Homo-oligomer: A and B are copies of this chain.
Amino acid sequence: MQKNNFHVNEHSLKTAISNVEPNKLTTRGYNQQDLIEKIRYGDMIFLILRGRLPSIKESKMFNHVLVSFCDHGVTPPSTQTARIIASSGSPLNSAVAGALLSFGHKHAGAIEKSMELYQSSVNSLILTEDADLDNKQIASLAIDIYNNHISGDEKIPGFGHRYHTTDPRAEKLIQIAIKEGFVGPHIKLAVAIEDLLSQNKGIKLNVDGANAAILSDLGFTPDLGLGIFIIGRIPGIIAHIHEEKMDEDEFRRFCDLDDIIYGGH
């Protein structure tokens, strides 16, 4: 608030993401003209979030993750919100924004909690170069996590689905990770927990839990988990908004008076 002769303006906006100069744009150190010409969109996402380009293996795995979030029909609260807002005649960006607001701790929130669980657990180990030894450590860690949650009657984040007994996306993602030789300690841990939960409770990994493990092995910190989910899901949400605007009556009723129970006095 006070002025003095050596005042450095503390309100300058600072960023390391892009440099904007007249007629020149540089992002994460690369000229945007080169990026536009040469890199895949999935790699662009990796670059802007991480500050470096992915390796070929990382690029493939990250691409599987992004595709796996694409759509779950009209069942998620986010999609329902988007369609209701679109129906009221609001612009597309408002409907997308509304959808994002329903990514609460119940919907999509699991991915970050799951990443925190895997990463804090794995970080507690001293991993060696000896695969057998490490696998044993991880198996024992999985048992601890399982027991902790079961004894506290707590859900393990990233497991179970409201509409599926086996989430087909999680199943496929893990298969691919194995096939492509992309199995680090976090995926190992997720699979070990799944074995226990599946045998004892019939509960399996869901798309959030599988991706949480993969993203952890890709080196993403938990605070980017929800962001990557959002990136992957937005195109589906836009497709639903477009469908609502094209195919449905504007301002259609989503309920009749007969659908409502009045519980007041």
Write the residues of chain A forming the contact surface with B, with a CB cutoff of 8 angstroms: 1-3, 7, 9-29, 32-33, 35-37, 39-42, 44-45, 48-49, 63-64, 66-68, 70-75, 77-78, 80-81, 83-85, 87-98, 100-109, 162-169, 171-173, 176, 223-224, 226-227, 230-232, 234-236, 238-243, 245, 247-248, 250-251, 253-265
Contacts and interface: CB of A to CB of B under 8 A. Distances in A.
A260 B71 contact: no
A262 to B, nearest CB: 4
B84 A80 contact: yes
A48 B252 CA distance: 24
Contacts of A14: 247-248, 260-263
A15 B263 contact: yes
Contacts of A100: 93-94, 96-97, 100
A71 to B, nearest CB: 5
A13 B255 contact: yes
Given A1-B258, A22-B165, A240-B15, A265 B29 contact: yes
